[in-house]
């Protein structure tokens, strides 16, 4: 099923797109399709070697693609601020921002450069800070902002009692909390944009389930070997039950480009269990439905990252 799934990406000529996590997997697929459709694609990357390999892959797949690299470590608010300054100094509107990068379930609690639990800091705070820094450019571009959450966010809550998991650590619960917070922030962005006339269309997407690097061996997060989960997902993907890295990127790509997309909505695979299949709008998870919770996330996020909406 997932192998035959595809979408048509509208012409993106004249549009500037920023895609985090674009150096491999789902993000690389999203960046490649945007570039092939004519967008100028900016890839903020932590690893320059992987970034250069991604550039080469995109240019091979889409000859003549307008794509460039810049430095970004989402686990460092200083790095996020530096990228914000770079793009603001260029003073060019951003028309598409896809927040796709992330980390998942380090076996032991790890922290960012700023002392936050790694998943909270990378999956949510780093992306949210980038949005806040780039708001002038996003408003100028009447941008489509896509927050890539996870099917795991269908359960759980924001871990308000111990946001950074200092008293105890549960990797999956921390992952869910980070993705729910990120989703609530994206929904609050949609509401604020509508109320203030910013012209930003903020939407959520999730990739379903696919064999990406999230659960594979990642020494940088303390995981020396592939998890049992990713080995199972690879088998299920080969049987067509779950998606592929290519098909899993389609909901975010649809959310970023389709003229039918509306702000404040969630898009994911439309197949059985939303594991794979063509992109489709889905009902917001219960964890994402409280406007009070979204406002709380926004306010606390501004406080933690030290940036307020301009």
Q: C-alpha 276: how far from its chain's center?
A: 18
Q: Which of 117-121, 228-232, 252-256 has the lowest average pLDDT?
A: 228-232
In a domain, 156, yes or no: yes
- pLDDT of 242 higher than 70: yes
CATH of the domain at 205: 3.40.50.720
Which among 273, 309, 111 has a CA at the least distance from the CA of 191?
Answer: 309
Tell me the H-state helices in 159-290: 171-196, 228-238, 245-248, 250-257
Please report which confidence band the pLDDT of residue 214 belongs to, taking 50, 70 and 90 as the band edges.
low
In a domain, 82, yes or no: yes
Task: Give me the active site residues, please.
Answer: 175
Please report which confidence band the pLDDT of residue 217 belongs to, taking 50, 70 and 90 as the band edges.
very low
The residue range of the domain holding 193 is 11-305
Q: What are phi and psi of 251, to 5 degrees?
A: -60, -45
For the chain, how many structural domains are there in total?
1
Give dist(CA 236, CA 90) in Å, integer: 45
More confident residue, 244 or 228: 244
In a domain, 112, yes or no: yes
- pLDDT of 2 higher than 60: no
In a domain, 253, yes or no: yes
In a domain, 285, yes or no: yes
Could you give the percent of the chain with pLDDT greater than 70? Answer: 95
For 164, 244, 250, the CA distances from 4, given in Å and listed in that order, are: 41, 11, 12
In a domain, 270, yes or no: yes
- pLDDT of 137 higher than 90: yes
pLDDT in tens, 86-110: 999 999 999 999 999 999 999 999 9
Residues sharing a CB contact under 8 Å with residue 137, sequence separation 6 or more, in sequence order? 87, 88, 91, 92, 93, 94, 143
In a domain, 28, yes or no: yes
- pLDDT of 225 higher than 80: no
For 59, 270, 273, the CA distances from 310, given in Å and listed in that order, are: 36, 37, 40
Please report which confidence band the pLDDT of residue 20 belongs to, taking 50, 70 and 90 as the band edges.
very high
């Amino acid at each position: 099923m997932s192998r035959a799934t595809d979408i048509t990406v509208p012409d993106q000529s004249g549009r500037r797109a920023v895609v985090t996590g674009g150096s491999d997997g789902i993000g690389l697929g999203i960046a490649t399709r945007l570039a092939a459709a004519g967008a100028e694609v900016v890839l903020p990357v932590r690893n320059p070697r992987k970034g250069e390999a991604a550039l080469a892959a995109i240019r091979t797949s889409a000859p003549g693609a307008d794509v460039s690299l810049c430095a970004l470590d989402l686990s460092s608010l200083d790095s996020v601020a530096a990228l914000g300054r770079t793009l603001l100094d260029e003073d060019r509107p951003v028309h598409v921002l896809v927040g796709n990068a992330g980390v998942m379930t380090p076996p032991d609690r790890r922290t960012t450069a700023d002392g936050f639990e790694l998943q909270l800091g990378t999956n949510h705070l780093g992306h949210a800070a980038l949005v806040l820094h780039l708001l002038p450019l996003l408003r100028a571009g009447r941008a489509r902002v896509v927050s890539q959450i996870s099917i795991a966010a269908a359960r759980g809550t924001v871990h308000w009692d111990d946001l950074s998991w200092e008293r105890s650590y549960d990797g999956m619960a921390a992952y869910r909390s980070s993705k729910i917070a990120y989703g609530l922030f994206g929904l609050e962005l949609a509401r604020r944009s509508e109320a203030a006339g910013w012209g930003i269309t903020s939407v959520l997407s999730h990739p379903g389930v696919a064999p990406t690097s999230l659960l594979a061996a990642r020494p940088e997060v303390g995981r020396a070997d592939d998890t049992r989960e990713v080995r199972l997902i690879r088998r299920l993907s080969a049987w067509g039950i779950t998606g592929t890295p290519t098909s899993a990127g389609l909901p975010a790509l649809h959310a970023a480009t389709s003229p039918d997309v509306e702000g404040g909505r969630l898009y994911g695979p439309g197949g059985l269990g939303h594991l794979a299949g063509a992109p489709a709008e889905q009902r917001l998870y219960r964890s994402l439905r409280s406007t009070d919770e979204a406002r709380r996330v926004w306010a606390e996020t501004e406080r933690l990252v030290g940036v307020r909406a301009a």
